[in-house]
Structure 1
């Protein structure tokens, strides 16, 4: 059995972690390698360019080489390259190393301000790929390099073919599907099963594998309001091929009538994620707010009404005079220009997280609060991640007294706090390793295509 994932974004990481915790520590292949895969995950592109064989440090944003007299300007969220007043490039940070200003890619801009090429950097700090764009700012080709800057792979998006230069031989593939299929069969031989989570390349690889096996699709995307299933899922079901099970990871979609009716054609199941919740000891009666704006709904009113709660308000930037004025309250601690290490500590020690700041979510704060086992409260108008936020703890911004009353109850009644935590876990679809083992053991039975 092999995991075959299209990308290693957050939902994929959650599924991979859940499988490993259940004892399914399988060979894991990610097709789209963005340069920062963990050690136990490989990609065909990274494998052939020997990306894992050279160690080094990630590229910090101001270490990027630029022409003389050009300068790099950046902050905790973004950076750019300037030639006097002209922006020449966007520097994109790696999103799993938030606020560490590590370069993942650099978008070089033409005179019209559009992207003309993108340099991709990996966790060892070297450029492993370059994507070139046409005059309409559409990607046309990506070249992949080894650590010595030798071109190893060329993928042409216009013709869809891939050319591989390996051991002084040239290999031609008509498509990415053929490229990945050849990689899998060459490296693993017989493939008795695939676990995949995309109806793009992973499904098409499963579809054309010319050997018997029993594959499982973990469907992580949300269906449209109509409930219409994707075309490739219809094809999968009609094919009656290697894929014998579809596991939905969105319970609302799984419970739709048209999805339940699919049971007549293919095995349908549901499971959530085994999120790595850490239950910290000695949590204090504290509430945390992480913000990048001084627009925090009713914050002064909430602070004044709950003197028994200590509020930690942090920002990775300077704080405005308005925000600094909260320091007049004895039950408020302010952390302007906060460090990443301090933020981690504040998450761990706070029993509550208030998602009441305007603007964007900072550092996936709601998810992190959930993982640190904090009860999350929000205003409907400001909530950033409903998946981890209970409806019962989401309030109308026009009625802040409801949030304040509930805040008092959470701090005064330990049983109510525990009930809300359990409800929060259930609503987010928290599943256990035992749930995964039972599901996969059940799927192991049945015919093989």
Structure 2
């Protein structure tokens, strides 16, 4: 059995981690290689370009080579290349290391400001691919290179063809589906089962794989409000082929009446994720706010009303005079231009996280607070990640006294704090390795197609 994932986004990482914790440390293939896959994950594109064989450091944003007299300007969230006042390129940071300013791709712009080509960089710091765009700014073709800058793979988005240059031979594939299928059968031979999480290329590979097997679809996306089932899922069910089970990872969708009715045609189950929660010891009554703005709703009022709570407020940038004035309170510590190491410590030592800042979420702060086992409190108007936030701890910004009263209770009543943590875990769908083992044990037995 192998894992076949389309991309290695956060939901895929969570599923992969959950499976490994349950003892299912399977060969894992990710089709779309964006250059930063972990060592135990491979991609057909990275495999043929031998991406893992060259060691090196990621490319820091100001290390990008640009023409003479051009300038790179950047901060913790974004960067760009300028020729005097003209922007020539956007520099996109790798999302899991965004605040470290590591380059994942560079979008080179035409005179009209539209994207004309994109250079893709990997975790070893070399350009492994380039995508060219047409005059209407649509991607036309991507070339993949080895460490010596030799073109190894060309994918044409107009014709859907892929050409592979391997060991001085040219191989032609009519589609990405054929390309991936050939890679899997060449490298793994008999595949008795696929665990996949996308109805795009992974499903189509499962659909056309010409050998017996028992596959499992983990459905991680959210259904539309009307609960309409995607067309490929309908095809999957009607096919009665290799896929014998569909596992929903969104409980609300799983409980819909039309989804439950699918049980008559195919086995439907639900499981959440085994998030790696770290239960730190000796936590104090500390609350943490990570922000990139001084628009923090009612923060002075909250701080003044809860002198028994110590508030840590951090930003990766300079702080405004308004924010710095919070330092007048004895129960506030301010961290302008904070380091990543300090942020990690503040997450670990805080029992509470207040999601009350406006603007964008910083550094996936809500998820990180959840993983560090902090109780998350939010205002409805500014909450950033409701998946990890309890409705019971989400308040109307017009009534800050409700948040303040609950803050007192959380600090004064350890039992209530423990109850809210348990409820927070349950609402986020926290599942255990034993849950995964039990689910997969029943799915991997029985006849194959």
Q: TM-score range by the shorter chain?
A: over 0.9
C-alpha separation in 2, matches of 1:296 and 1:114: 36
C-alpha separation in 2, matches of 1:446 and 1:48: 36
What secondary structure is seen at the aligned counterpart in 2 of 1:318? coil
1:88 and 2:74 are equivalent in the alignment = no
What secondary structure is seen at the aligned counterpart in 2 of 1:234? helix
Deviation at 1:326, TM superposition (A): 0.4
C-alpha separation in 1, matches of 2:281 and 2:67: 52
C-alpha separation in 1, matches of 2:340 and 2:89: 26
C-alpha separation in 1, matches of 2:320 and 2:133: 41
What secondary structure is seen at the aligned counterpart in 2 of 1:105? strand
What secondary structure is seen at the aligned counterpart in 2 of 1:141? strand
What secondary structure is seen at the aligned counterpart in 1 of 2:158? coil
C-alpha separation in 2, matches of 1:294 and 1:97: 24
C-alpha separation in 2, matches of 1:231 and 1:380: 34
After TM superposition, list the pairs within 5 Å mapping 1:21-420 onto structure 2. Answer: 21-420=21-420
C-alpha separation in 2, matches of 1:446 and 1:223: 29
1:36-71 CA distances to partner (integer Å, 9 max, x unpaired)?
000000000000000000000000000000000001
Deviation at 1:403, TM superposition (A): 0.1
C-alpha separation in 2, matches of 1:137 and 1:443: 45
C-alpha separation in 2, matches of 1:268 and 1:141: 39
What secondary structure is seen at the aligned counterpart in 1 of 2:149? coil
What secondary structure is seen at the aligned counterpart in 2 of 1:98? helix
Task: Single out whichever of 428-437 and 91-100 deviates more from structure 2.
Answer: 91-100
Deviation at 1:282, TM superposition (A): 1.0
What secondary structure is seen at the aligned counterpart in 1 of 2:300? helix
1:214-237 CA distances to partner (integer Å, 9 max, x unpaired)?
000000000001000100000000
- After TM superposition, the runs of 4+ consecutive aligned structure 1 residues lying more than 3 A away are none
1:365-416 CA distances to partner (integer Å, 9 max, x unpaired)?
0000000000000000000000000000000000000000000000000000
C-alpha separation in 1, matches of 2:41 and 2:65: 29
C-alpha separation in 1, matches of 2:369 and 2:269: 29
C-alpha separation in 1, matches of 2:364 and 2:13: 14
1:139-194 CA distances to partner (integer Å, 9 max, x unpaired)?
00000000000000000000000000000000000000000000000000000000
Q: How many residues align?
A: 449
Deviation at 1:200, TM superposition (A): 0.0
C-alpha separation in 2, matches of 1:104 and 1:377: 33
Deviation at 1:445, TM superposition (A): 2.0
C-alpha separation in 2, matches of 1:385 and 1:235: 33
Deviation at 1:447, TM superposition (A): 1.5
What secondary structure is seen at the aligned counterpart in 1 of 2:252? helix
Name the Cα RMSD after superposition. Answer: 0.3
C-alpha separation in 2, matches of 1:293 and 1:134: 38
Deviation at 1:98, TM superposition (A): 2.5
C-alpha separation in 2, matches of 1:341 and 1:268: 43
C-alpha separation in 2, matches of 1:282 and 1:118: 48
C-alpha separation in 1, matches of 2:235 and 2:278: 41
C-alpha separation in 2, matches of 1:112 and 1:225: 38
Question: Which position in structure 1 is the counterpart of 2:439?
Answer: 439
C-alpha separation in 1, matches of 2:124 and 2:98: 17
C-alpha separation in 2, matches of 1:239 and 1:154: 32
Q: TM-score, normalised by structure 2?
A: 1.00
C-alpha separation in 2, matches of 1:140 and 1:444: 41
Deviation at 1:18, TM superposition (A): 0.1
C-alpha separation in 2, matches of 1:356 and 1:82: 35
Structure 2: gaps (5+ residues): none
Deviation at 1:446, TM superposition (A): 2.0
Deviation at 1:284, TM superposition (A): 1.2
C-alpha separation in 2, matches of 1:141 and 1:341: 41
C-alpha separation in 1, matches of 2:25 and 2:248: 21
